Structure 1
Amino acid sequence: MGDETVSAALAGKRVLLVVGGGIAAVKVPDLIRRLRERGASVCPVMTRAAAEFVTPLALSALSEEKVFTELFDLTDEAEMGHIQLSRQADIVVVAPATANLMARMVSGMADELATTVLMATDKPVMIAPAMNVRMWLHPATQRNLAQLQADGVSVVGPNEGSMACGEFGPGRMAEPMEIVAALERHFGQGPLKGLHALVTSGPTHEPIDPVRYIANRSSGKQGHAIAAALRSLGARVTLVSGPTALADPVGVDVVRVETALQMRDACESALPADIAICAAAVADWRVDAAGQKLKKQAGQALPDLKLAENPDILAGLSGHAQQRPRLVIGFAAETQNVVEYATAKRAKKSCDWIVANDVSPATGTFGGDRNAVTLISAAEPESWPPMAKTEVAERLAERVAWYFGHGGE
């Protein structure tokens, strides 16, 4: 665990982690790792059902703490161990919070160690629900959710997406970094606290007529992940997003746009900002769009599409006369000569850093979940190994935090 990942919000905090019995429990080892590398200690308490999905040994190895599972452990209960557990933490996190566990919390049941700890605690409680979409949308679950929130329990997630059962919809447990971000917000700190970050993401759609448009293959996954990572480090984040199928990052102010002109205007409206990261794949050209649908007719010539160059949002922010962000970072999506072209782009756009990536079809970068990038700055190019886009985002956000922590050097 490197010092560069320690979070000012989480350093020294003790998290009592109640692990519920759902398939989302497989995310808990990563959650423990993320919390510990940011300086928090984690004490796991498992329900009986949780052990069907992840072993106590795995959680003990990652947390470097004893994992508690049984209420009637004679050694611990001789000293009222469940009371001690509930009082020694700074916060209690329930992940995953299954429909059953939420119902037992509402009912005030204390039928095993996990529910007894939740009844006995005098500390804040945060839950990360996870269940089948129908279970999540069931009126009973929604009533329980409302009651828990009325009781002061905070909630992170759930997200929408594909589930282990094969269905799609809300009910996926929040990702580990989303839970980390929620905890950092709870404790109100982070290395980027007090800074405003502007992030662009996704493609733009340039209309040809009311039903057709020019676009590209960008999914927005990298830009959205960067927005979430910056937020997790305490920044106030404005995300200007082109059309994507992604959920809004937790705690981020999202401005949705369609075209490059709209994205440019939204970025201007978001200023002043301390950080600008232009991850969007903005269309280079727009069309003089027809007011009505262009009709294809036999014997008629092809329509004459007049193209105009779109504004250069990255260059505009870099060269802003009154409100240039202190750190401007662009992305270079290339299919050849990646470092060479990205280095030239950095000079041409007058930005501070360029994140260069190869988006050739064989890489699967556009639309995929992984990326391999090279960071171009005033120093030597720095190539990062292939990793998940969320990891690229976290590493970039940590580099931004280091930059501001060292006087912007």
Structure 2
Amino acid sequence: MAKLRATLPFVISNSFSLLGNSIAGVVLPLVLLAKTGDALAAGTLAIVCAVPQVLAGVFGGALLDRMNRRDLSVISDIISAASIAALPIIDATVGLSFGWFVLCGVIGAVGDIPGMTARDTLLPAVVKHDGLELQKFMGVAQSVENLVVIVGPAVASMGMGLLGSANTLWLTAAMSTIAAVVTLFVPRAVGVPAKAEEMKKSDTGLVKTALASTKEGVHVLFASHPVLRASVVLGMLIVIVMGSYQGMVLPVFFTQENAPTLLGYVLSAMSVGALIGSLGYAKCAYSLKRRTWYVVSFVGMAFGVAALGSLWSYEVLLLGAALLGLASGPVSALFGFFVYGLIPDEHRGAALGTQNSLMLVVTPVAVFATSIVIEIVGVGTTSFVLAVAWIALTVYALAMKAMREI
């Protein structure tokens, strides 16, 4: 137990934070669709919130190389809890409208994005503090995350049935609050960045520091190592396609089918598959070459997306989601290993802050574009187009020169 004095509270805190986000990821799109009845409104909300998300990511990345990462994680979780708790309060008093979603989304971005980056930068530090091996820990961490994400959508579906959609958001607020409290049990010294004092002395103001941090992050991500660059690019492309499915196509489909609670169970099936896949990778990481894991993952995900994208029936959606999750487990752990292993600690805040900002730009843009396509051609055609896009992504991933010798 002593050996896990930093890792254990970190994993528990991260699990509660992920559980809250998992619940919110199911409930929020359905609440917005129920209140507005418009897929384009949900897409517009995503794009409107993108600007504060990017700014929070940029400034958060700069702060995380200069301030205690554990402390910033705690503050971020508290802000996130407050922004989510406001929604059911507003719904019960003056009533939710699109404007309230925008306001709470902007406030939530200030907490969510730096908090996510803070946990990303803390992970290698707590692993090192407790003397664990990073590659194997990534498989275990991915398994724990997938287990949490299994529970989240199922809890969301049950919560909506018992409490109503808006009131289920109280669960998300509670999870973020618990995450903040548990993070306090991570030794504070673990959160101190390498060369923090040097960077504080060289600071020339927050704006200039943030711009310099972003420039530094872009250089580290895209110019320092070809495998790191490929991992980031592929990660962004995966987020574009999957963000469009989870954030728009599936919520709209199940809303139109008058079965919104089924969305949670499809996402849970995906997480069950991902849990099995990441556990298998953690157990057998060294039994196959990394390239073999990589190829098997991308080919398996292609079959899963083909089934999911067909929207053929509820049973096919469950099967496709489970297969997609199963195949994604190894490659998710691999990408995490490459990213954490190839970024020096003193650049980790800048690089991961920039990466998270980029991810948070492409996701709302993809969701907004998807909402427009759904309005024009319908959800079925949109789903087919996304499935074809995923097949193209698979071919690109397998052909990438940087990933042939991993």
By percentage of residues, which structure has more strand? 1
Larger Cα-atom Rg: 1
Which protein, 1 or 2, shows the higher relative CO under an 8 Å CA cutoff with sep ≥ 6? Answer: 2
TM-score using structure 1 length? 0.24
TM-score using structure 2 length? 0.25
By percentage of residues, which structure has more helix? 2
